[in-house]
Amino acid sequence: MTGPDDGRRGGLSRRRLLGALGVGTAGVLAGGAAGGALGRATADDAAGAPAPSPTDAVPFHGAHQAGIVTPAQDRLHFVALDVTTDSRDELVQLLRDWTAAARRMTAGQDAGEVGAVAGERYAPPDDTGEAIGLPPSGLTITVGFGPTLFTTADGVDRFGLAARRPAPLVELPAFPGDQLDPAISGGDLCLQACANDPQVAVHAVRNLVRIGAGVVSVRWSQLGFGRTSSTSTGQDTPRNLFGFKDGTANLKAENGSALDRFVWVGDDVEGTAAEWLRGGSYLVTRRIRMLVEPWDSSSLDEQQRTIGRTKGSGAPLGQRAEFDPVDFTTQVDGEFAVPETSHVFLAHPTNSGTAILRRGYSFVDGSDGLGRLDAGLFFIAFQRDPATGFVQVQRNLRLDAMNEYVRHTSSAVFACPPGVRDADDWWGRALFG
């Protein structure tokens, strides 16, 4: 038995255990993680800015893409696409057309210049029409390029981009417990549409897919609701489908220095081939099924010890309020309040190891055919380098007690270029120029 104040269990100090695991990271599911704000405004723009109305338009132009540090909206439609053409010119024209359509839709306009009802009677409209009369609803559209856009799985360089693929843009490694479905993983391109009205988000993706007919096809898609992280200091901490506050210690849009350190690709980008990505970020998605039936049959004490926080207030175990500092030396009844296998213990950004900017959403996709809900978290994270961001985080969580209740079923990684600067700019111009 160890003494009550020496901070040890079984002869291994908690400080040494943190060092051995490389902890100092952002968590993947529950509150207590560093990293999780995304969106549109730049760090400088976000600081001190008044909170927009949920129906307002988010500016489309900027140094960074919208949808990364923008205060997280309530709804998501995410789609990954395969490029079906081998023509570089057709791909470039699609990116130009997508940019023009996104610029209009984020301003609350139709996807096309003519619109849903003002065109030729016997020709297809250049907008599908389901957003007629709806406000912009904070719509942001974010684009990303997958590793297979640069080189296919069998090594083909379809568009002359292989030499311009950034070194960090590689498929994620396998993790213990993964149950990934290739059909809902990967992709050449991705589009992330976030809005405060689900119809606005779906309208955006539907029209961009329509515009891409013959050039791209949908590989997989995911709808999400109820943001699972706060990405601005003006937002309350939301709850995930386990009923716990999620993302208490996430990065926030107002913390510009942290964003520069952990989210944006900076001036030290490796090699001139990847200069096109400066000011951009890397996007990792994971579809995480949450086994809600076993979780719901667990006691409150077990749930709280799995997470490392109280279910009501969100306070770290042994503390009183949500934003009280996590103290790994606090003891209750002779035992450490925060278990060493809890999510908070393994995910907490102790010693400033790393952080990711989380922007996830809950999902419920019917049932699995066995009477169980197919529900969980569509995890989204932005970071400067996936190897030192999500990959490090996930490896730190290999002993996480929460692993008993979650299954990772989908995985993807994309490089998101910098923002569109003005009316003459377009997504990926520096890459293809």
Question: pLDDT per residue over 228-255, tens digit each?
Answer: 888 888 899 999 999 999 888 788 889 8
pLDDT tens-digit readout, 389-407:
999 989 989 999 999 999 9
Q: Return the pLDDT at 353.
A: 66
Q: Provide the strand spans (E) within 139-244.
A: 140-145, 189-195, 216-227
pLDDT by residue (tens digit) across 55-86? 999 999 999 999 999 999 999 999 999 999 99
Task: Let me know if residue 401 belongs to a domain.
Answer: yes
Residue range 292-317, pLDDT digits in tens = 999 999 999 999 999 999 999 999 99
Tell me the pLDDT tens digit for each residue of 161-195: 999 999 999 999 999 999 999 999 999 999 999 99
* pLDDT at site 272: 61
Q: Would 7 be classed as within a structural domain?
A: no
Residue that is written with structure tokens 């907008």 in the block: 127
Domain-located, residue 85: yes
Q: Please check whether residue 47 lies inside any domain of the structure.
A: no
**Residue 396: which of 354, 362, 359, 358 has the closest Cα?**
354
Q: Read off the pLDDT band of 347 (50, 70, 90).
A: confident
**CB crowding 349-366: b at 16 or more within 10 Å, else e:** bbeebbbbbbbbbbbeee
Enclosing domain of residue 113: 22-38+53-421+428-432
Which of 207, 216, 215 is closest to 104 using CA atoms? 207
Q: In 394-409, which positions are buried (b, 16+ CB within 10 angstroms) versus exposed (e)?
A: bebbeebbbbebbebb
256 within a domain of the structure (yes/no): yes
Give the C-alpha separation, 100 to 24, whole Å. Answer: 41
DSSP state of 405: G
Task: Say how many C-beta atoms besides its own lie within 10 A of residue 205's C-beta.
Answer: 20
pLDDT digits 0-9 by tens, 14-41: 333 333 333 333 345 544 444 333 233 3
- d(CA 307, CA 342) in angstroms, rounded, equals 5
Using only C-alpha atoms, the chain has a radius of gyration, in whole angstroms, of 22
The whole-angstrom separation of Cα 203 and Cα 186 is 23
Residue 411 forms part of a structural domain: yes
Number of compact structural domains in the chain: 1
Q: Average pLDDT of 182-211? A: 98
Q: Is residue 15 part of a domain?
A: no
Question: Taking 60 as the threshold, does the pLDDT of residue 51 lie above it?
Answer: no
Q: Tell me, what's the pLDDT at 381?
A: 96
Residue 403 lies in a domain: yes
Q: What percent of the chain has pLDDT over 70?
A: 86
Q: How far apart are CA 278 and CA 292, in angstroms?
A: 41
